Amino acid sequence: MIIYSPWLCWLIPIVGAMLTPFIARISEKARDYTAVLFGFLAAVMAASMIPAIMAGKFYIPGKGLVPIPADWKYEWIIVPGAKLNVGVLVDPLSVLVANVVAWISFLILIYSLGYMHGEEGLTRYWFFMNFFIGNMLLLVMSDNILQMLFGWEGVGLCSYQLIGFWYRDERKRWVGDVPPSHAGMKAFIMTRAGDVALMIAAFIIFTQAKTFNFMELQQNHEWIVELAKVGLIAPVALFLFGGPIGKSAQFPLHEWLPEAMAGPTPVSALIHAATMVKAGVYFTARVFPIFTESFKLAAEGVHNGFEGVILTAQNQFFLTVAWIGAFTAFLAASQAMVARELKKVLAYSTVSQIGYMMLGLGAGGLAGEHAASGYVAGVFHLMSHAIFKALLFMAAGSVLHACETTDMFEMGGIRREMPITFACMLIGALSLSGIPPLSGFWSKEAVFGACIKSGQYLLLALAAITAAMTFFYSIRMISITFLGKKSHHLEELERHGHHVHEVPSVMWIPYLILAVATIGIGFMGPMFEHMLEEFLEPSIFPHHGIHSSLLAISTTAEPAGPPTQLMTMVITASMLLLGGIPGYLMYVSRRVDPVKFVDRYGLKPIYNFLWNRWYMNPTYYKVFVYSLIDLSSVLFKNLEKAVIDKVNYVVANGIIKMSAGLFRSLEVKVIDGANYALAKAVVAFYRVFRRIQTGILSYNMLGIVFGLLVVGALLILLGL
């Protein structure tokens, strides 16, 4: 173990980002490879913490070996009644997510060497990529909310810059009708809305707990009781979830992510697959023990009627997390079914799969004594999705790079020209769809199992239907992109001498590694899930073995009937058939024409509804953008022009007239007259006084002597 690895894993890429402009002055090649090196060193630092987690103890200088979770902190700021520390929390959750972030980021940096070769502004690109990685790792490793917010806002800033990387807004860089600069601003503003809610909740908690530290918030229950007494516990809990809603693109703050595809594909893979959009899921998992164990202990410790308030707030929090996750998963999957742009399909699927993660965590919180199963399901799907979605984005980027278009319907028939990319993307799509034995199958099964154990069968039904839609749009995506005949666009490219071919190895090796990882985790199956549960145990039960405190939030126990695993497999198989059969008939065998099918059965209104994104995006623009523009136009015409400008003109004309009057009556007649009078008096004095100067030396000497006598007499009279 490298002793300072919890600090170095996020400091190295941040320092590397700062050094990038200076290295670029030496050599562009050195700049590119050192940027990748900083990412690799961060990954090594993250990996070096795993043995300590497995051993259950971590070495902190000055304290020796301390049990996991290890809170390594230093005093930062002292405020009245509280201390603010800077520190890192070394526990299974932080180390697991740090390794997922660091290693996938490293592979994406390698991929960038090929994908971004020859682009303008690469110094800026490498700076923000490493700065992003450092801030994301700072977010993950922080032991308190305040420090975490520095990383939280840092990744928001970097995402804004990287999404709008092609800020010149060339038409070929647009996503639909949205230019990159607009897409970056949209992401920045929408995520800030959620961040404000998170900050409000964090600072309200601080007023009662006098700490931002996660471990201290888990161990001290008084702040929960105090907030319950003033009726703020439920609002604070829901506001705390506002940050994850924005950062992880959950309903209703999900509309920024599809447009974020305007950034380069490595950015899409880094931000919208493996890292930033997982920040909200990570934070929800981080506060999970507070809302299960700590809330339960707080409720058990009071007997004045507030225990019901605390448990109600707890239940409301997890219901909100679960329902928003399930609805977002369904919502985004339905939009992916009709999308034309390859990266947009993957963007919608990202929103949908993050919904599954939130559903797993929410269902776990509602599962009482089975809470650990939901926690593990959410984190397992986070890890699984990060791997296969980064794979899908990088493979999609290779397709875009080769076909020179983002529209799937301008591709087709390239399976033989790009065999490695096709194979890897097929593996990723099958894992996304939950096809056994790939990793996505087991992680999605775990989410279904958490819904069953919590007794949330309506949520389970929504998640199952989403799984069917996921398989449908995955088949559609792979078939339109790789199978069938080549599009007219590709034929035109070939006529002009451009033939589609496999991308360089520096691009396909990273996603081939991820494809192998997806298969490997899949073949381990339930054993991997069991290992993950044992690994995460100190994060689920942070109070070192106090498992009995995690009593049932509801009275729901393991449902009677067939084993949960068998039930989830039956549901999965049914949904795969429900989504797979129409997908195969429409896009693989081409026996059913999807356009004619929609027209024949009167599905055009539904298609338009999905194509227009449930009309949520237009509604947001109408309410929050165009309404403000219209309001500003009305105010400009009726207030600024009609009132303010007229008042300005009246005031200005009045001041001009007043100044003219003052000029004539005061300045010319009084001030100028006084000036002339004073000047004439000085001139008259000068003419009189100059007569005493005769030029005769003896008279001058007498004048000096007389002056000295006068000065001496004055000094004597004054007693000096």
Q: Of the candidates 570, 592, 611, which is a domain's last residue?
A: 611
Q: Is 665 exposed, middle or buried (0-12, 13-18, 19+ CB in 10 A)?
A: exposed
Predicted pLDDT at 1: 63
Residues in a beta bridge with 178: 175
The number of domains in the chain is: 2
Both tokens of residue 468? 């069917």
Give the closest residue to 474 by CA, choosing from 432, 415, 522. 432
Q: Is the domain of 116 the same as that of 257?
A: yes
Give the closest residue to 112 by CA, choosing from 515, 517, 516, 503. 503
Within a domain: residue 716? no
Q: Is the domain of 589 the same as that of 625?
A: no
The single-letter code of the amino acid at 168 is: R
Q: Hunting for tokens 């290693």 — which residue is that?
A: 103
Rounded CA gap, 187 and 64, in Å? 44
Within a domain: residue 416? yes
pLDDT, the chain, mean: 91
Q: Do the Cβ atoms of 583 and 429 come closer than 8 Å?
A: no
Q: What is the pLDDT of residues 301-348, one digit of tens each?
A: 876 778 889 999 999 999 999 999 999 999 999 999 999 999 999 999
Q: Is the domain of 673 the same as that of 571?
A: no
Q: Do the Cβ atoms of 81 and 65 come closer than 8 Å?
A: no
Residue 555, pLDDT above cutoff 70 = no
The single-letter code of the amino acid at 670 is: V
pLDDT: which is higher, 693 or 34: 34
Residues in a beta bridge with 90: 70
Q: What is the pLDDT of residues 53-72, one digit of tens each?
A: 999 999 999 899 999 999 99
Confidence of residue 123 (pLDDT cuts 50, 70, 90): very high
Give the closest residue to 564 by CA, choosing from 377, 406, 333. 377
Q: Is the domain of 335 the same as that of 204?
A: yes
Within a domain: residue 443? yes
Give the closest residue to 212 by CA, choosing from 84, 74, 81, 78. 84
Residue 251, pLDDT above cutoff 70 = yes
- Predicted TM-score (pTM) of this structure: 0.88
Residue 491, pLDDT above cutoff 50 = yes
Q: How far is CA 72 from CA 69, 255, 530, in A?
A: 10, 38, 29
Q: Give the whole-number percent of the chain exceeding pLDDT 70.
A: 96
Predicted pLDDT at 689: 76
Within a domain: residue 68? yes
Q: Is the domain of 433 the same as that of 417?
A: yes
Predicted pLDDT at 613: 94
The Cα diameter of the chain in Å comes to 134
Rounded CA gap, 51 and 55, in Å? 6
Average pLDDT for residues 285-289, to the nearest whole number?
Answer: 95
Predicted pLDDT at 17: 97
In this structure, of 122-136, 302-316, 375-389, 544-558, the range with the lowest mean pLDDT score is 544-558
Both tokens of residue 524? 């381990």
Q: Is the domain of 640 the same as that of 568?
A: no
Within a domain: residue 94? yes
Q: Hunting for tokens 């339109």 — which residue is that?
A: 480
Q: Of the candidates 565, 582, 611, which is a domain's last residue?
A: 611
Q: Of the candidates 550, 576, 611, which is a domain's last residue?
A: 611
Give the closest residue to 341 by CA, choosing from 277, 403, 266, 252. 403
Average pLDDT for residues 686-697, to the nearest whole number?
Answer: 77
Residues in a beta bridge with 66: 58
How many angstroms from the chain centroid is the CA of residue 667? 65
Rounded CA gap, 212 and 81, in Å? 13
In DSSP notation, 1-27 reads --TTHHHHHHHHHHHHHHHHHHHHHH-
In this structure, of 201-205, 245-249, 524-528, the range with the lowest mean pLDDT score is 524-528
Q: Is the domain of 188 the same as that of 274?
A: yes
Predicted pLDDT at 546: 38
Q: Is the domain of 371 the same as that of 466?
A: yes
Q: Is the domain of 607 the same as that of 620?
A: no
Q: Which helix (H) or strand (E) holds 70?
A: strand 70-79
Q: Is the domain of 21 the same as that of 43?
A: yes
Rounded CA gap, 13 and 36, in Å? 10
Within a domain: residue 711? no
Q: What is the pLDDT of residues 412-465, one digit of tens each?
A: 999 999 999 999 999 999 999 999 999 999 999 999 999 999 999 999 999 999
Three-state DSSP class for 696?
Answer: coil
Within a domain: residue 165? yes
Rounded CA gap, 55 and 678, in Å? 96
Predicted pLDDT at 559: 42
Q: Do the Cβ atoms of 584 and 468 come closer than 8 Å?
A: no
Cα-based angle 93, 96, 97 (whole degrees, multiple of 5): 85
Within a domain: residue 501? yes
Rounded CA gap, 627 and 633, in Å? 10
Both tokens of residue 396? 């999609």
Name the pairing type of β-strands 70-79 and 82-90. antiparallel
Q: Which domain holds residue 682?
A: 616-705
Q: How far is CA 497 from CA 490, 493, 519, in A?
A: 11, 6, 37
Confidence of residue 560 (pLDDT cuts 50, 70, 90): very low
Q: Is the domain of 301 the same as that of 376?
A: yes
Q: Is the domain of 368 the same as that of 279?
A: yes
Q: Is 371 exposed, middle or buried (0-12, 13-18, 19+ CB in 10 A)?
A: buried
Predicted pLDDT at 76: 82
pLDDT: which is higher, 558 or 289: 289
Q: What is the pLDDT of residues 566-605, one digit of tens each?
A: 889 999 999 999 999 999 999 999 999 999 999 999 999 9
Residue 561, pLDDT above cutoff 80 = no
